[in-house]
Chain A
């Protein structure tokens, strides 16, 4: 597949950019924060996003979706990274839908996907139990009943956990781990919302003797690790898309500032010390564009995924988006440290996404292991 967007994808990108710039620029995020919105996103904007069709991009046609593929979803996420638009797109429209289409039974898909496509239902992947991402270490347990299961444990840092209707929970089931679909209103589920410093929110979720019916099992009993890895790889590539949007936007804003800001009687962008750093970052970002597109196309070619490419994308986008946001602060100087300027919002969202589903150290290690060293 050629490493370029096709005509339809270019149109989607333009439409996404125009919609988000108009309806959800960074000032929208600022309003959410300053108005004390506890959801961390606007329900009104969410219904407009549903009208744009973005919640249906990955949903197969038989469940009321567009079946438009991962590249299309990634384009939208990249654009929403540019505007820092808070929404459940990453957690539900990408990760949640991928979990169901990859591991879900027909009846699970039929009961949830149409509601997701229409924006009525939100999902949250609950797989972390320690502050550093270690999805292979699972203390949460699901005991087999007859019929069904009983879930006991605690998950932390659950993206969209405070608003989710259903959790996707990893739990140890004896000889392996398994995944479960757990309605948020089940008896014994406690959601502790907490604010995140990027003005979003997340939750720690406790499952205390939660009784689950047999059909809450997502995928195969005791073989949930592979499914979880694949779901996480989709989520990681999605986070990489958003990081790419953040990095490109913050870079472009910084280049503009280098042209506008004068010191010593000249634009500071005429100084070679800054020019070379900017030019180097430009090259790194061009490499990131190629990588993210390749990762998305690989998902469209084979939804089972490519773990090496997913870890490569997450590791590299963490590294380069981090460099872009920290360079942005430094090159803006004192004004970059103020809350009045938007640059700090990019830094915070970037740090959040870096930590989500494994930082660059986690993925560097994973990449090397996959490649046999």
Chain B
């Protein structure tokens, strides 16, 4: 038996004993996710046990080094673990911007002190992180951000505001882009800082979306004290870290839009709702659009697969995260447009059984943000044009 086969055998039997039965089903809705953090209320004992078991083994972040709370697994072992988790339909023990966004940036750019302070609580789901990037006047042009962190001796004083903070009201700490130099070029005066959201002067206001939900907040800073040892990397060099983190965010958005898309094929939804006539879908005008979407979705999935295989084979697709973010989110929007068309008037019902209490229209409305958050589709196309195709200026 090879090492990897042995690892698979051990993993399988460990999961058998440590993954509670109720955690072996995909989420029924986004509300089933476990986000952790200081104020987290576990929805069940099983949810708590599953997180604790995985965190004890370092498997909430299997590829991170053991000293930072990770599993220290190599890429082959990580793949085996994923396969074994998928095999039993285990849900993720923890959803976390600390894992998907901040962690990789800290591992690459953080000082030893910052890694030791922040990574283990992320791995254990003890601290929930919020992202402070966009501002009211810095959206696509993120580098023009104006939140000011002024040098005040042994600390900075932060004033300004951030917007589109995902779950800002639930965050414990924030990773935040602030301006620490006010003279030079806009990209060169930005620092990447960390602070506790309980610090006096931090407040949040919910933003109500067109779907009726409020997953985002505006976050306001009034003379907020930021310790100087909480600057990641060099002062005024935060833009590099910001961009690195964005590539991870894009991959996460591209991936998750497809995870949701994976639930039920649109053609199946159409067959269920509309039936067939003479062996083909009873609504012939929808058919080419549905087939076109399913073809593109299949090719997208194959391309995700190819990108992973190419990384393993040592050749990289390059600035691929922009492609996956752009194409994945546009596909998800198309998918929901078709689901709305298939459901017709039923999809317009806000409360009631016909649309599962508005689940479909709310999801459709939410997808409109997919191609805006984490860098708009237009920004992704700019990146592809400049950095992959090498088109000028």
Determine if A267 is an interface residue (Cβ-Cβ < 8 Å).
yes
Determine if B229 is an interface residue (Cβ-Cβ < 8 Å).
no
Determine if A44 is an interface residue (Cβ-Cβ < 8 Å).
no
Known A-B contacts A272-B382, A282-B384; A287 and B290 likewise in contact (beta carbons under 8 Å): no
**With A and B bound together, what is the CA distance between A281 and B300 in angstroms?**
14
B299 → A minimal CB distance (Å)? 4
Determine if A50 is an interface residue (Cβ-Cβ < 8 Å).
no
A364 touches B306 (CB 8 A): no
B296 / chain A contacts, CB cutoff of 8 Å: 287, 316
A358 → B minimal CB distance (Å)? 14
Known A-B contacts A3-B306, A4-B306, A255-B391; A288 and B271 likewise in contact (beta carbons under 8 Å): no
> Which residue of chain A is the closest to B266 with respect to CB atoms?
A373
**With A and B bound together, what is the CA distance between A316 and B303 in angstroms?**
14
A294 → B minimal CB distance (Å)? 5
Known A-B contacts A287-B303, A316-B295, A373-B281; A275 and B391 likewise in contact (beta carbons under 8 Å): yes
Determine if A100 is an interface residue (Cβ-Cβ < 8 Å).
no
> Which residue of chain B is the closest to A367 with respect to CB atoms?
B291
Known A-B contacts A275-B391, A278-B385, A283-B326; A373 and B280 likewise in contact (beta carbons under 8 Å): yes
B388 touches A364 (CB 8 A): no
**With A and B bound together, what is the CA distance between A63 and B313 in angstroms?**
35
Interface residues of B in 365-393 (CB under 8 A from A): 378, 380-382, 384-386, 388-393
B242 / chain A contacts, CB cutoff of 8 Å: none
A3 / chain B contacts, CB cutoff of 8 Å: 302, 305-306, 309-310
> Which residue of chain B is the closest to A312 with respect to CB atoms?
B295
Interface residues of A in 11-59 (CB under 8 A from B): none
A4 touches B382 (CB 8 A): no
Q: Could you say which of B280, B317, B385 contacts A369, with CB atoms under 8 Å apart?
A: B280
Known A-B contacts A364-B288, A373-B270; A276 and B310 likewise in contact (beta carbons under 8 Å): no
Determine if B327 is an interface residue (Cβ-Cβ < 8 Å).
yes
A35 → B minimal CB distance (Å)? 37
B313 touches A2 (CB 8 A): yes
**With A and B bound together, what is the CA distance between A337 and B113 in angstroms?**
64
Known A-B contacts A272-B382, A364-B288; A291 and B391 likewise in contact (beta carbons under 8 Å): no
Interface residues of B in 296-321 (CB under 8 A from A): 296, 298-300, 302-303, 305-306, 309-310, 312-313, 315, 317
B306 / chain A contacts, CB cutoff of 8 Å: 3-4, 289-290, 293
Pair count A-B, CB < 8 A: 120
A267 touches B392 (CB 8 A): yes
B385 touches A279 (CB 8 A): yes
Q: Could you say which of A2, A287, A291, A315 contacts B327, with CB atoms under 8 Å apart?
A: A287
Q: Could you say which of A266, A275, A371 contacts B381, with CB atoms under 8 Å apart?
A: A275
Consensus secondary structure, chain A interface: helix
B385 touches A276 (CB 8 A): yes
B290 touches A290 (CB 8 A): no
A367 / chain B contacts, CB cutoff of 8 Å: 291, 294-295
Determine if B279 is an interface residue (Cβ-Cβ < 8 Å).
yes
A107 → B minimal CB distance (Å)? 40
A293 / chain B contacts, CB cutoff of 8 Å: 306
A282 touches B392 (CB 8 A): no
A289 → B minimal CB distance (Å)? 7
Determine if B292 is an interface residue (Cβ-Cβ < 8 Å).
yes
Q: Could you say which of A255, A272, A291 contacts B299, with CB atoms under 8 Å apart?
A: A291
B287 → A minimal CB distance (Å)? 6
B281 / chain A contacts, CB cutoff of 8 Å: 368, 373
B381 touches A280 (CB 8 A): yes
Determine if A253 is an interface residue (Cβ-Cβ < 8 Å).
no
B276 touches A373 (CB 8 A): yes
B299 touches A283 (CB 8 A): no
Determine if A187 is an interface residue (Cβ-Cβ < 8 Å).
no
Determine if A353 is an interface residue (Cβ-Cβ < 8 Å).
no
B298 touches A286 (CB 8 A): no
A4 / chain B contacts, CB cutoff of 8 Å: 306, 309-310, 313, 315
Q: Could you say which of A279, A288, A316, A368 contacts B287, with CB atoms under 8 Å apart?
A: A368
Interface string of A102-126 (1 = CB under 8 A from B): 0000000000000000000000000
> Which residue of chain B is the closest to A369 with respect to CB atoms?
B280
**With A and B bound together, what is the CA distance between A275 and B390 in angstroms?**
10
Q: Can you give 25 contacting A-B residue pairs, CB < 8 Å?
A: A2-B309, A3-B306, A3-B310, A4-B310, A4-B315, A255-B389, A255-B391, A270-B393, A279-B382, A282-B388, A282-B389, A286-B323, A287-B303, A288-B299, A289-B306, A291-B298, A316-B299, A364-B288, A367-B294, A368-B290, A368-B291, A369-B279, A371-B267, A372-B271, A373-B287
A-B contact sample (14 more), CB < 8 A, given A269-B392, A272-B382:
A4-B309, A259-B390, A267-B391, A269-B391, A282-B384, A282-B388, A283-B327, A286-B323, A290-B299, A364-B291, A364-B295, A367-B294, A371-B291, A373-B281
